[in-house]
Amino acid sequence: MNISINNKNVWAGPGETILQVANREGIKIPTLCYLKEFSPTGSCRICVVENEQNGQLVPSCAFPIYEGMQVQTNSPKVRRSRKTIIELLIANHPQDCLVCVRNGNCTLQDLAAEYGVREHRYRGERRKGKLDLASPSIERDPEKCILCGRCVRMCHEIQNVGAIDFMNRGFNSQVAPALDRSLNTVACVNCGQCIVVCPVGALREKSSQKPIWEAINDPEKIVVAQIAPAVRVALGEEFGMEPGTIVTGKIVAALRRLGIEVVFDTNFGADLTIIEEASELLRRIQLGGELPMITSCSPGWVKYLEHFYPDLIGHLSSCKSPHEMEGALVKSYYAKKIGVDPNRLFVVSIMPCTAKKFEAQRPELGSDQPDVDAVVTTRELARMLRTAGVDFSRLPDEPFDDPMGESTGAGTIFGVAGGVMEAAIRTARYYLTGHDMDFIEFTPIRGLDGVKAAEVNLNGNILRVAAINGLKNMERFLEDIREKKSAFHFIEVMACPGGCINGGGQPLPYDPEKVRKRAEAIYHLDRTMPKRASHHNEAIQKLYEEFIGEPGGKTAHQILHTHYIEREAF
């Protein structure tokens, strides 16, 4: 079809919206409630444009084009309407930008600057709401909510959780859990994807900075940090670097500048997870255990299963997640190696994930003391570095400490959806055949699609595998398992769309192109590693010889494995 935008003739396909055509033509239209992957609602009205044929203002994100349509995206009427909407949103918004966690990275703030809002023309009663601070992962400030509905659509349409929704009507409308309860008392899985899509500061991660600073300043404590694979391809964005810039060595240097004594690589824990997980999978196949076995690396996914499919808990791998394995080893193997009381060791995990904060507090992880004492997100680490005056871009690259600083490409690809599965296949193949795969890269389960499935020939045995990201995509697989119809042997699940590279603690604002570049960087790291399979990690081999014994043995189960619990689905 032929239409006109700003007096320029352009083509458009049937079913396209004005916004889609304008974006393709390089015409910027501001949005607040719109997200590309979701059904449009047109609720915020920031994206209004003028239909010249009748003079009406219509939401460009939801209005379909038609033959001969004539649209103005920047007429006086449009600009006046958008500015008024912004002013009305600000009138019902706390005036605390200077102390807001999203100051300088807030879509509403950006729009106010863009449209020249310099005064408060509208004054009156504001919506009230109570702070929700009880969750170990996510804090909610209802007074900052602009009712765009992004978080609601993410929680329902992509994550299939439904922990939050619209409540009440008219002026009293708000987004909250059922009965206005705390997120900590409902079936929230702490994935933080609501934070990722929130355009303002209504949702934020629970800060763990205070106990970390206290531990750093405590002369009796030895602070040990570990860095997840997805953090090293994302932290640079917080300091103006291109998405996907690999800053591993700079992070190590930065943590030492903060006063942290020891810096290990979570990829070591990922390699160890693969050894234990591949061994567990082969035992289940050979001895008739529950199949398919499902990965347990994503704490958001584990909590989802505990809430909504508790009868299928037996299908979860009993392996702890990589950072929890590493934390457990720091307080056992490493403490013994350096001859210190484990209580003096304070383990900090630098993670792309808000659900890891909840995971670290699980009583099932750790006995006398937690495996991990504190979790900070990529965003939080950036704030800590700014507070300490660390000029991140000028830091040199520094190596990890031994013995838990060695890793392989297999541990690195844990950061992207499909990576855990691919790493496990590399090692499972070796265990069954005695030699590595001819082509170490298993491309059928690569990519950011929500569902990927494949068959692997392991020494004449066909292994059916799937890699799922985004919890909604797992629903039909779980129903098949429940009805005994599943043909799969092994399933990887990542709660966050795209995997850890798009975790709830990664740099904002959300942009699919950023996620794609982070994934490319993860695979680049894998290709450049001298060793690309977990079973070739010499530090892991030495760990088994000196301390653990055999994979899946008594010591391994005491330190590296765990169990799960049933939770109510409300």
pLDDT one-digit tens code per residue, 518-558 = 999 999 999 999 999 999 999 999 999 999 999 999 999 99
Specify the pLDDT at position 434. 84
Residues 177 and 214 in one domain: no
Compute and round to an integer the Cα radius of gyration of the chain: 25
Distances (CA, A) of 526 to 397, 401, 439, 516: 18, 20, 13, 16
Specify the pLDDT at position 23. 93
Specify the pLDDT at position 37. 79
Domain with 290 in it: what CATH number? 3.40.50.1780
Confirm whether 25 is a catalytic residue: no
Q: Encode pLDDT of 219-264 as tens digits.
A: 999 999 999 999 999 999 999 999 999 999 999 999 999 999 999 9
CA distance 542 to 525: 24
Tell me whether residue 95 is in a domain.
no
Confirm whether 280 is a catalytic residue: yes
Tell me whether residue 351 is in a domain.
yes
Catalytic residue among 50, 276, 277, 492: 277
- Give the residue from 176, 206, 236 where a domain finishes: 206
Specify the pLDDT at position 429. 86
Per cent of the chain over pLDDT 70 is 100
Of 159, 167, 164, which is closest to residue 138 (Cα–Cα)? 164
Specify the pLDDT at position 460. 82
Catalytic residue among 188, 191, 194, 297: 297
Cα first-last separation, the chain: 48
The dihedrals phi and psi of 178, each to the nearest 5 degrees, come to -55, 140
pLDDT at 465 over 90: yes
Catalytic residue among 208, 296, 317, 486: 317
Specify the pLDDT at position 459. 78
Q: Are 393 and 330 in contact (CB under 8 A)?
A: no
Specify the pLDDT at position 539. 95
Q: Among 322-331, 382-391, 459-468, where is mean pLDDT lowest?
A: 459-468
- Give the residue from 88, 116, 147 where a domain finishes: 88
Residues 83 and 158 in one domain: no
Domain with 145 in it: what CATH number? 3.30.70.20
Residues 78 and 219 in one domain: no
Of 87, 178, 204, 191, which is closest to residue 493 (Cα–Cα)? 191
Distances (CA, A) of 261 to 84, 209, 218, 372, 452: 53, 17, 12, 16, 41
Angle between helices 378-387 and 248-257 (to 10 degrees): 50
pLDDT at 25 over 80: yes
Q: Encode pLDDT of 265-295 as tens digits.
A: 999 999 999 999 999 999 999 898 999 999 9
Angle at 126 between CA 120 and CA 128, to 5 degrees: 145
Residues 257 and 226 in one domain: yes
Residues 388 and 499 in one domain: yes
CA distance 547 to 402: 16
Catalytic residue among 37, 290, 364, 538: 364
Tell me whether residue 393 is in a domain.
yes
Domain of residue 170 covers 127-206
Tell me whether residue 512 is in a domain.
yes
Q: What's the predicted TM-score (pTM) here?
A: 0.94
Specify the pLDDT at position 38. 85
Specify the pLDDT at position 436. 84
Catalytic residue among 100, 500, 514, 517: 500
Residues 143 and 273 in one domain: no
Tell me whether residue 100 is in a domain.
no
Specify the pLDDT at position 457. 86
Residue 256 CA to chain centroid, in angstroms?
A: 25
Residue carrying the six token digits 């499919």: 309
- Helix, strand, or coil here: 335? helix
Confirm whether 125 is a catalytic residue: no
Q: Encode pLDDT of 339-365 as tens digits.
A: 999 999 999 999 999 999 999 999 999
Q: Are 299 and 359 in contact (CB under 8 A)?
A: yes
Of 237, 256, 247, which is closest to residue 513 (Cα–Cα)? 237
Range 93-114 burial, b when 16+ CB lie within 10 A, else e: beeebeebbbeebbbbbebbee
Tell me whether residue 105 is in a domain.
no
CA distance 437 to 347: 36
Residues 454 and 310 in one domain: yes
Q: Encode pLDDT of 444-464 as tens digits.
A: 999 999 999 999 988 788 999
Average pLDDT, the chain: 94
Residue 480 CA to chain centroid, in angstroms?
A: 26
CA distance 85 to 89: 6
Specify the pLDDT at position 291. 96
Catalytic residue among 237, 276, 324, 359: 359
pLDDT at 15 over 90: no
Residues 409 and 300 in one domain: yes
Tell me whether residue 365 is in a domain.
yes
- Give the residue from 88, 115, 146 where a domain finishes: 88
Confirm whether 500 is a catalytic residue: yes
Q: Where are the alpha helices (DSSP H) in 25-166?
A: 76-91, 107-114, 150-153
pLDDT at 123 over 90: no
Domain with 27 in it: what CATH number? 3.10.20.740
Catalytic residue among 238, 276, 280, 324: 280
**Residues 6 or more apart from 234 whose CB is under 8 A from it?**
243, 352, 378, 501, 506, 507, 518
Confirm whether 364 is a catalytic residue: yes
Residue 460's identity, in one-letter code, is G
Q: Encode pLDDT of 426-446 as tens digits.
A: 998 888 888 888 788 888 999
Catalytic residue among 206, 303, 320, 356: 356
Specify the pLDDT at position 373. 97
Specify the pLDDT at position 326. 97
To which H or E segment does residue 494 belong? strand 490-494
CA distance 202 to 343: 37
Specify the pLDDT at position 440. 84
Residue carrying the six token digits 């390699």: 271
pLDDT at 570 over 80: no
Residues 409 and 432 in one domain: yes
The dihedrals phi and psi of 274, each to the nearest 5 degrees, come to -65, -45
Of 323, 416, 426, 421, which is closest to residue 374 (Cα–Cα)? 323
Q: Encode pLDDT of 303-327 as tens digits.
A: 999 999 999 999 999 999 999 999 9
CA distance 121 to 115: 14
Mean pLDDT of 192-205: 97
Confirm whether 538 is a catalytic residue: no
Q: Encode pLDDT of 493-514 as tens digits.
A: 999 999 999 999 999 999 999 9
Query: How many structural domains comprise the chain?
Result: 3
